[in-house]
Amino acid sequence: MDLILKIWRQKGSNDKGQMVEYNVTDISEHMSFLEMMDVLNEQLVAKDEEPVAFDHDCREGICGMCSMYINGEAHGPDRGITTCQLHMRTFNDGDTITIEPFRANAFPVIKDLVVDRMAFERIQQAGGFISVNTSGNTQDANAIPISKHAADEAMDAATCIGCGACVASCKNSSAMLFVSAKVSQYALLPQGQVEATDRVLNMVKQMDEESFGNCTNTGACEVECPKGISLENIARMNREYLVASLKG
């Protein structure tokens, strides 16, 4: 198929960016979206133009590195996938495709489609861990039985890949889904209880300092989340936060 691409080009974080139009031809429907981008970049290199910078690594939907905003949706039109799992069969011959970076004040553009997600790192550093030493002198793994239900729910929350699609999809650029997934994972496990109060307070405080917006329960984040992280996590975090605030 032949396509018209409108891509955000921006030289560096302090430069002004703009949409630039490119044509690609003979694209196979079996290609992944990023393989289509590879074809474009090979063309640009051949013409001595600068290829489009974009983040990608595992190309199997788990590392969370890829981050394109395609036709107005984080990770593009398909559901339950990352950009790298999007395939060209989703598009039609002659389509015009608009490709932008994940946009949010907290995610400044580094170059073209590459954004800086260090704000997520700082939130995790504020409390996204259990303070257990890694020396190995812990009790036996089966010492505390955990109900299958709780373990499964914790696992569902823990599947978050930290890509930032929730932030990019939210009209307020809120990071509540991301933060609540981590808070929930630990809140659901006995190992996470000891530090539960400090964890939720510290992570939310850091989130607020990173200039993410507020949550107004529109649920766009859940729709675009490649891993299907549920809004229930936000409700759980709000409960955890309320309890923690009352405890002081």
Partner 1 sequence: MKLDSKIPQGPLKDKWTTYKDNINLVNPANKRNIDIIVIGTGLAGGSAAATLAELGYNVKAFCYQDSPRRAHSIAAQGGINAAKNYMGDGDSNYRLFYDTVKGGDYRSREANVHRLAEVSGNIIDQCVAQGVPFARDYGGLLDNRSFGGVLVSRTFYAKGQTGQQLLLGAYSAMNRQIARGKIEMHNRHEMLDVVLVDGKARGIIARNLITGEIERHSAHAVVVASGGYGNVYFLSTNAMGSNATAAWKIHKKGAYFANPCYTQIHPTCIPRSGDYQSKLTLMSESLRNDGRIWVPKHMEDVLAIREGKLKPTQIPEENRDYYLERRYPAFGNLVPRDVASRAAKERCDAGYGVNETSEAVYLDFKSAIQRYGTEQALLHGDHSPSKEKILELGEAVIEEKYGNLFQMYEKIVAENPYKTPMMIYPATHYTMGGVWVDYNLMTTVPGLYCIGEANFSDHGANRLGASALMQGLADGYFVLPYTIGDYLSDDIRTGAISTDSTEFEEAENTVKERLDFFINNKGTHSVDHYHKKLGKVMWDKVGMARNEKHLKEAIAEIKEIREDFWKNVKVPGSLNEFNQELEKAGRVADFLELGELFAKDALNRNESCGGHFREESVEIDGPQKGEALRNDKDYAHVSAWEYKGEPSDAVLHKEELEFKDIELKTRSYK
Of 179-238, binders to partner 1 (CB under 8 A) are 185-186, 189, 191-192
Kindly list the distances between the CA atom of residue 162 and the CA atoms of 45, 119, 120, in Å, as whole numbers in the listed order.
Answer: 31, 11, 8
Q: Which burial class, exposed, middle or buried, applies to 202 when counting CB atoms under 10 A from its CB (0-12, 13-18, 19+)?
A: middle
Q: How far is the CB of 212 from partner 1 (least distance, A)?
A: 17
Q: Are 73 and 221 in contact (CB under 8 A)?
A: no
Q: Any alpha helices (H) in the chain, and if so which ranges?
A: 33-46, 118-125, 148-158, 165-169, 176-187, 196-209, 220-224, 232-247
Q: Could you give the 3-state DSSP secondary structure of residue 15?
A: coil
Could you say which of 2, 23, 77, 89 contacts partner 1 (CB under 8 A)?
A: 89
Does position 1 interact with partner 1 (CB under 8 A)? The reply is: no
Q: Which stretch binds partner 1 (CB under 8 A): 92-100, 135-143, 168-176, 212-220?
A: 135-143
Kindly tell me which of 148 and 171 has the beta carbon lying closer to partner 1. 148
Unique residue bearing structure tokens 């044509």: 23
Q: Are 122 and 162 in contact (CB under 8 A)?
A: no
Q: How far is the CB of 174 from partner 1 (least distance, A)?
A: 20
Q: How far is the CB of 217 from partner 1 (least distance, A)?
A: 27
Does position 125 interact with partner 1 (CB under 8 A)? The reply is: yes
Could you say which of 70, 117, 166, 231 contacts partner 1 (CB under 8 A)?
A: 117
Could you say which of 74, 76, 87, 176 contacts partner 1 (CB under 8 A)?
A: 87
Binding residue count for partner 1, defined by CB under 8 A: 78
Q: How far is the CB of 154 from partner 1 (least distance, A)?
A: 4
Residues numbered 161 to 180 that lie near partner 1 (CB under 8 A) are: 161-162
Residues numbered 52 to 81 that lie near partner 1 (CB under 8 A) are: 53, 55-65, 78, 80-81
Q: Could you give the 3-state DSSP secondary structure of residue 117?
A: coil
Residues numbered 13 to 42 that lie near partner 1 (CB under 8 A) are: 28, 30-32, 34-35, 38-39, 42
Neighbours of 18 (CB within 10 A): 9
Helix (H) or strand (E) holding 109: strand 109-111
